[in-house]
Structure 1
């Protein structure tokens, strides 16, 4: 679902401890409010070992193939593995509600049955086959989970009216976003997490997919619209079934890392859009990373990207938003501290159109291939400890240049492993004079394989709308 970016502005104390406060808006009824606050340490989660250098790929099942089915995804798995993908995230596969439906096919996020398969996508046997095939390829599978709301014709609406947030006249309200704001999501009904029975039913449904669907974890939609203490409870119960459970929150609140391995990097995404278009200067990135370091724990994973299903459908492809700077933007997103990079359906073939959200709109797989570019970056991440996710990755330092406000250079270092990334968002090539490189010496250009000497102070050539990645 489309959300607003939200990072609390006074969270310096979260470097060690955070208070558990309600994720619900004060406008909600008292019964929908969260339990009393208690202190929670940051960085207490144990991430699955397989996640430490992982790359994630979002699969839009409906639009991926002409068939738009789960079975039709299977032939693509070997290609995704060879691209360097480690995790596939499947957009919601459950049946879509018909009441208040948007468009012909409806929103993936308007679910009418949590433990069934949308017949337009196939059967449970097809889902099982896809997950088993993914696991044989060494791929992990995350299922997109929609806990904040259901379709208006979900059976719970009539069976358990008190599981929903209602108006004074008893009617159920449509869903709100991560910050509790009203939305135009008129096809979905807001759930009431003040009800213990609803909480348990939601955990039971998630457990069902671990036990019967054999998924490896969940990407949780509008996660900030659900109380944090629910997520704490859910994680504890679900890890009894799958100890290496992985949880991704579609939200940006640092407090969510008490229950989630990874949160969205919406703020960086929007900043990269602005830097790419020249609306912000590249040095603005320094302020962003300094702020992140002050509010997120060192072992917090962040999902960084240049596209996803929301951005593509509602705001345009990365080429529409970033123009010729789409590739240097992705290089940054894939190499900065904390990042688990995301690739969205079709980006590897330069997908330039906005995929329709409520209708069938198949990806054209005949676009110019960017597979070598993405494969090289994912291979870089897999091979270099400095780029590992979370606390196992290296420190990040800015390399200061005199090349103007369209150039950004930084280094990542963990022990003897050093990666220097130089980006040029400008229209002309530059020979960037730099200083204070903390780990000078002999490097190799990752993309050309040419040897490069980098003294503590010197120059580095960067093409227009381009990048250099130097490794040692």
Structure 2
């Protein structure tokens, strides 16, 4: 089954609820209306992003960081210092952040989700920890050491833990160091054991984990990035760590944040799903990179079916801003493609401001009141078994502007549906032919209209359909359309 995941910025959400209901809200006291929303949307997983204890250092760095302050002021004329908090990815301890409630409240929240048939996803950050993490005092060897000579060359790359003892900040090798973190040393066996223990502990509190920048823990990547400082990893981390969890919880789900075309490799190491950044890049490009997107969707099924599709998340620009008028067409293509589907808090409302993870307050924004309902119709449509388990084949569509058109077919032994999207600013007539084209009238779902309003013509086995600018439709049989 291809699950639907809803990502929530936990601290922002709890604060919003507290202000809206004018009472302190914690994970255990989240109003029933929120769970009704999860249920109505058909979410299989709720990802509570940022639930773990964060760093005093990280908060201080965020409040004094000039670049972050400039970003905050672009969102609001005034930012209260109390609105600036530590990054949720500078983790000091894998225990619940007190801002969200007492330790036992996470289990209460999980049980309430389970009562609705929904599972809980949490974060695991394998590459780095906060500067003031609880493991450092007893085990500095678990972190990458930098010589005084190296530190003098790049002072921003490390932290002086003790006099003339420098530890590397965590980093993606293509970006500046994350100065509120320390890089874990996977050349040391003890680090493998400690992080596996953390992962197993997390797995007892949820049903799935999203593993931050998971490709950085591949032996080839770690050795290239850090081997000159600490030596090589003795073995791969992920296969044994994932197996340790699966031995206790066989149905537990692992999602990898993955870049650099490492998706297939991470899948082979045991990940159930991996981020699909190529899909995101092709779909949100200006213009949409249709040929690359079509070719990507023609990939081998064992790979395709284990990708996580999204059009926004907390790291990416808001879909309403990035896709503009193509937002809903992009959403329908994403939701009707195979794989896991990730929906971000605020995406349904069409929010345009990307919120830094260190900011606690979501700026108020106007939103299209009709858009959440369109999303709910898409959720209902793509909850159909055909989209949850069916195969995919791309269509050869004929249109005046094929660079702006996409078509594919989802199918099972019991039926099929045709997904067509127009990413251009003009109306386009599509034509397509398929040897298994069913007889009779289609049910029609449209991002623009209620069902059964799109003009469809058939002639000599060819289907012709006129789509409005930025419109996407699904043609099928068997009550695919929602009125």
| Range of TM-score over shorter length | 0.7 to 0.9
CA contact (8 A) 1:429 1:464 kept: yes
Contact 2:87–2:357, Cα closer than 8 Å, also in 1: yes
Corresponding residue number in structure 1 for 2:193: 200
| CA-to-aligned-CA distance 1:352-393 (integer Å, 9 cap, x gap) | 2222321211365973342322222222222132x22xxx42
Tell me whether 1:441 sits opposite 2:459 in the alignment: no
Could you tell me how far apart the structure 2 residues matched to 1:357 and 1:460 are? 43
Unmatched runs of 5 consecutive residues or more in structure 1: 1-51
SS of structure 1 residue aligned to 2:466: strand
2:291 matched to 1:287? no
| Relative contact order, higher structure (CA 8 A, sep 6+) | 1
Instruction: Give the aligned partner of residue 251 of structure 2.
Output: 244
CA change 1:459–1:199 in 2 (3 A) is same
Identify the residue that residue 367 of structure 2 maps to in structure 1.
367
Matched, 1:255 2:212: no
Distance 1:454 1:148 in 2: 56
Equivalent position SS for 1:434? strand
Q: Distance in 2 between matches of 1:267 and 1:219?
A: 18
Q: Determine whether 1:79 maps to 2:51.
A: no
Q: Give, in whole Å, the separation in 1 of the partners of 2:320 and 2:435.
A: 32
Measured after TM superposition, the shift of residue 125 of structure 1 is 2.1
Structure-2 separation of matches of 1:57 and 1:444: 28
Contact 1:148/1:190 (8 A) holds in 2: yes
- For each residue in 1:202-259, what CA deviation from the matched residue of structure 2 results, as whole angstroms up to 9, or x when unmatched? 1212222333x2x102100011111363111111111122121100000041111121
Q: Does 1:400 align with 2:393?
A: no
Q: What SS does the aligned partner of 1:99 have?
A: helix
**1:209-228 → structure 2 map (5 Å cutoff):** 209-211=202-204, 213=205, 215-227=206-218
Normalised by the length of structure 2, the TM-score is 0.78
Q: In the superposition, relative to structure 1, how do residues 74 and 238 fare at CA in structure 2: closer, same or farther (>3 Å)?
A: farther
Which residue number in structure 1 is paired with residue 280 of structure 2? 269
Q: CA 1:207 to 1:260, structure 2 compared with 1: closer, same or farther past 3 Å?
A: same
Deviations 1:91-119 (A, max 9, x none): 121111122532330101000012x1111
Distance 1:190 1:433 in 2: 54
CA shift digits 1:114-154 (9 cap, x unpaired): 2x111122221221211111111111111111111000111
Which residue of 1 is the match for residue 425 of structure 2? 427
For 1:182 and 1:307, how far apart are their aligned partners in 2? 21
1:143 and 1:217 in contact (8 A); partners too: yes
Is 1:384–1:417's contact at 8 Å kept on the other side of the alignment? no
Specify which structure has the higher proportion of helix.
Answer: 2
Is the aligned partner of 1:303 residue 2:261?
A: no
Say which one has the larger Rg: 2
Alignment-derived partner of residue 3 in structure 2: 54
What residue is the counterpart of 1:107 in the other structure? 87
SS of match in other structure, 2:357: coil
Q: 2:169 aligns with which of 166, 174, 193?
A: 174
Over 3 Å counting, the alpha-carbon distance change for 1:384 and 1:403 in structure 2 is farther
Q: Distance in 2 between matches of 1:360 and 1:418?
A: 45
Aligned length, in residue pairs: 401
Following the alignment from structure 1 to structure 2, what is the Cα–Cα distance between the partners of residues 349 and 365?
9
CA contact (8 A) 2:399 2:429 kept: no
For residue 415 of structure 2, the aligned residue among 390, 399, 417 is 417
| 1:85 Cα deviation from its structure 2 partner | 1.0
Please give the secondary structure, in 2, of the residue aligned with 1:134.
helix
Instruction: State the distance in 1 between where 2:391 and 2:457 align.
Output: 21
**Cα shift at 1:300:** 4.2
TM-score (norm 1): 0.79
Residues 2, 339 of structure 2: 8 Å contact kept: no
